[in-house]
Amino acid sequence: MLHLLCVSLPLLAALAAQPVIGFSYPLSPEAIRDAYFLGTGDATKRAGVFAKYTRTFPAPTAGPYVATILFETPYIAVTDEIAQRAANYHAPDAEQDFLGKPESCHVIAQVDFPYNEYDGFTVQLFQAGKKIESLSKQGTFLYTDEEGPAPVGIQMDVEYAPDEIDTDRTVTVQVAIDGGPTTRATFDLSQLR
């Protein structure tokens, strides 16, 4: 019996050390604490985690294009917000601020374009062939200061209700540039938190 226990304890320890996988909603107290430690910890590690939620695309030789698509789960949104807080912010504060509060998913798409070559674009989210309707959309122009302030891109933040999304399946984000290309990015939600 002791031998069996010795074998099981290392196995249990290894399993406990594995990160929790799977997009969950609403966030549990444990998920909020994990988000706190990721948000206040090593920025390089946080960037590595965020990379799983982001797709980047190469620039074409001319014209507007989708530079990045980010699928932001409630966990990643909370982690990012915590990372931007003051230094004297603590795990119990995070739990109080986020536990039981409304949460949402966001698709954040960045379209880069040469000056005066932007006509518009649409962002849509699909799952199992069905379009998921957004709650809100907000666009922000991106500027460069190299030759005076000139718009060089736009970032669109599209909000979705998490309970409209099956957290065990893949989702596809489609960004269509008016008069230009359509870009798609797929995210396996069972592998995201």
Q: What are the extents of the domains in the chain?
A: 22-191
How many CB atoms sit inside 10 A of residue 120's CB? 14
Contact (CB, 8 A) for 128 and 113:
no
What pTM did the predictor assign?
0.83
Contact (CB, 8 A) for 81 and 32:
no
pLDDT tens for the chain, residues 1 to 193 = 344 333 433 333 333 333 444 577 889 999 999 999 999 999 999 999 999 999 999 999 988 999 999 999 999 999 999 999 978 899 999 999 999 998 999 999 999 987 666 668 999 999 999 999 999 999 998 987 766 677 889 999 999 999 999 988 999 999 999 888 899 999 999 999 9
Label residue 129 left, alpha or beta by phi (over 0 means left) and psi (-120 to 50 means alpha): left
Q: Which of 97, 101, 107, 79 is nearest to 164 (CA)?
A: 107
Which residue do the tokens 């269509």 mark? Answer: 176
Go through 123-137 and write b for each residue having 16 or more CB atoms within 10 A of its CB, e for each that does not: bbbeeeeeebebeee
Q: Which of 80, 139, 76, 138 is nearest to 113 (CA)?
A: 139
**Dihedral Cα 87, 90, 95, 96, nearest 10 deg:** -80
Q: Which fold has domain 22-191?
A: Immunoglobulin-like (2.60.40)
- Dist. CA 138–CA 22, nearest whole Å: 27
Which residue do the tokens 């603590």 mark? Answer: 90
